[in-house]
Structure formats: C-alpha cells, structure tokens
C-alpha cells in the first residue's frame, strides 16, 4: 500500500490577504492544485492571475490490477503516477507499455454498473447473444446497462488493429453515456463525485477482454509524464485466450514433461505471439516485472508514439510469418 500525499498546504495564496495576521484563520484549498489556500473566494479571485501560472493538478497514484480474481499466482499489477491533465488515450498508450501489450486491439475505460448481473449459465449466455443478434448487435434500451459511463477508443479499425471491435456492440447501451478517449481528461472522471465509490475498469481487447481494475491510491506532485512506480508479475501473452489461456500457458512452463500441445504453446509464446518473449516463463520469470527504467523511458511523451508504431510494424511482420508458418503445416 502506498501513502503518497499532496505536499503541505501553502497558507495565504494571496500575499496581500488582510487575514494573515489572524493566528488561526479558516482556510480553503485551491480546488485545482490542492496546495495553496485562501481565506475566502474573493481572496482567491484577487490572487488568481498570479496563482494560475503555477497552479497544476496533482498526479494520481493509480494501481491497475489485471483480473484480480482470476490471475493470482502471481498477480499482474502495475502502479503508475499519472498526470491529472492527461487524456485517457494517453493513459491507454502508457498502460500498453506498462503491461507489455502490443497495442493491436481496441479498448475502453468504463464505470461499472453495480446493478448489472452478467449471464452466468449457458442458457443465459445463449439468450443474451440471441438478443444482441436480433437487435443488430446492440443492447436494447429495456435491458440493464453493464456500464454507467464509457470512454472509448477514438482510432479507426485498421488491417492489423481493432478487429476485436466486432464485439463492442455488447458493451454499448442507450443508457450509457460515451466520450472519446482523446477528448476526456483523467480529472474529469476521477474527480467527479458522481462516480465516487464506483468500480472503474480499463478493458483491452474485446475478444479476450483483459480487465484492469483501477484503484486511486493517492496524489503526488504534478508532472508532465506518466511513470510506473512498481509492478508484479510477467506481462501477459497477447491473444493467449483470456485468463484461462494464460493459466494454461503458465502450466505448460511448469510441466516437467510437457505434452506436445504444451510444447507448442511455449514455442508460440517465444516466437509467434505479438508480444513474444524469447526467454519464455521458465524458472521464476513468471513472477518478474523487469526493465522499469526502460518502460518509463518509452512512456515519455517524446518517445511513446515511436515505440508503439515500431511494435505495430513488428506485429504486422509476425502476422505474415505466422500465416506462412500455418500454411506450411497444412
């Protein structure tokens, strides 16, 4: 658990405040920077022209926990310091690097509806998919929305990215308000008392549905960059088949005498996966979070687009190689 706090309050943001002689005035923090204080709204207004030059919202310290109930040995967690004025598309890009994803699928950030109950047994799932099919792949207004609010991927589907968007209709609902990720700032969601106490989830890849649950653990000094503070667990294999596929891949590496299928899984992860790791998950590698300094370097605003574009091109090359490999096996 982290105990990051905003620096001590700076009293009397207005140097000309007549209340400075009062030994115990009632002070109110600036609602943006939360550091400077004033005795009244009028005092703050009088000082705003001077204060706004240095007034910055403090960063959020956010823990992102990937499938906390399903992925436990080890858990996969990243804790980031995130600028409050960053937009959610910038946060998405940072999370792709922090979690080792390949940036080849769609995503959203969403406020979970506590009143929603997902279909559980096979008959309910079949009925749910039948209902979507009858309604053009969308949820009808008469149903309970899964999400109260969604922040969506602004990027159009391309040849190598976003094919999973065919599944997005089931995430939409007439009662669910939506905003584009590149037009919505972190503070607009995280400082909104309307969503206080609600679960917020970042979902990547609407096929595998990788759910990263957010916990705001505190605030820290404002910076212009996101930064990974800590992490646990090796990054998860892209397109492995959700958390069940990840567990099967880990089991393949634990096996003393792996089956032919397990050997093939290992070979796929080391050579073919979009975010492949040639070293695999042998020994204690499954528990390692490595290269934090390199990750933070790649997350910098002047590096991040080049990094993600390079990985998209690598994925395109691996896709062609995988197709040739599959064709050769037939």
At 283-303, the pLDDT tens digits run 899 999 999 999 999 999 999
Q: What average pLDDT does range 97-126 have in this prediction?
A: 88
Q: Is residue 7 scored above 60 in pLDDT?
A: no
Region of 197 (left: φ > 0; alpha: ψ -120 to 50; beta: rest) is left
Residues 6+ away with beta carbon under 8 Å from 202: 64, 91, 92, 95, 107, 108, 109, 211, 212, 214
Partnered with residue 10 across adjacent β-strands are: 36
Structure tokens at 78: 């990243």
Partnered with residue 227 across adjacent β-strands are: 81
Structure tokens at 53: 């030059």
Q: Is residue 308 scored above 60 in pLDDT?
A: yes
pTM for the model stands at 0.85
245-258 per-position pLDDT tens digit: 999 999 999 999 99
What is the C-alpha to C-alpha distance for residues 57 and 41, in angstroms, rounded to an integer?
Answer: 19
| Residue in 275, 272, 249, 274 with CA at minimum distance from that of residue 262 | 249
- 30 compared with 189, residue with greater pLDDT: 189
What is the C-alpha to C-alpha distance for residues 161 and 156, in angstroms, rounded to an integer?
Answer: 9
Phi, psi of 152 (to 5 degrees): -110, 160
The residue extents of the domains of the chain are 1-55, 59-232
pLDDT at 19: 66
pLDDT at 330: 43
Strands (E), the chain: 28-29, 37-38, 59-66, 76-82, 107-112, 147-152, 177-180, 200-204, 210-220, 227-232
Grouping H, G, I as helix, E, B as strand and the rest as coil, residue 207 is coil
The pairing of strands 177-180 and 147-152 is parallel
135-146 per-position pLDDT tens digit: 776 777 888 899
Domain 59-232 fold is: 3.10.290
The pairing of strands 147-152 and 107-112 is antiparallel
Compute the chain's Rg from CA coordinates.
23
């Amino acid at each position: 658990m982290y105990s990051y706090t905003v620096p001590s309050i700076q009293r009397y943001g207005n140097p000309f405040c007549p209340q400075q002689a009062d030994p115990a005035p009632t002070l109110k923090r600036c609602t943006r920077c939360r550091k400077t204080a004033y005795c009244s709204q009028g005092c703050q207004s009088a000082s705003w022209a001077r204060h706004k030059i240095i007034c910055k919202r403090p960063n959020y310290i956010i823990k992102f926990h990937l499938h906390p109930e399903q992925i436990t040995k080890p858990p996969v967690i990243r804790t980031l310091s995130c600028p409050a004025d960053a937009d959610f598309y910038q946060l998405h890009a940072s999370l792709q690097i922090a979690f080792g994803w390949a940036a080849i699928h769609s995503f959203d950030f969403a406020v979970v509806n506590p009143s929603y109950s997902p279909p559980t047994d096979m008959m309910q799932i079949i009925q749910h998919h039948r209902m979507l099919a009858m309604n053009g792949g969308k949820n009808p207004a008469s149903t309970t929305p899964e999400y109260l609010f969604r922040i969506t991927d602004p990027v159009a589907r391309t040849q190598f990215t976003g094919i999973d968007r065919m599944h997005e209709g089931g995430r939409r609902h007439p009662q669910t308000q939506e905003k584009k990720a590149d037009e919505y700032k972190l503070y607009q969601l995280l400082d909104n008392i309307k969503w206080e106490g609600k679960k917020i989830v970042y979902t990547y890849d609407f096929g595998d549905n990788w759910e990263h649950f957010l916990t705001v653990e505190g605030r820290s000094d404002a910076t212009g960059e996101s930064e990974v503070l800590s992490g646990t667990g090796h990054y998860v294999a892209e397109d492995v088949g959700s958390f069940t596929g990840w567990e099967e891949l880990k089991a393949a590496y634990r096996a003393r005498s792996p089956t032919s299928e397990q050997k093939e899984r290992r070979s796929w992860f080391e050579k073919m996966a979009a975010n492949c790791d040639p070293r695999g998950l042998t020994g204690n590698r499954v528990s390692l979070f490595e290269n934090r300094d390199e990750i933070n370097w790649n997350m910098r605003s002047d590096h991040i687009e080049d990094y993600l574009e390079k990985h998209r091109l690598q994925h395109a090359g691996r896709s062609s190689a995988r197709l040739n490999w599959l064709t050769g096996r037939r």
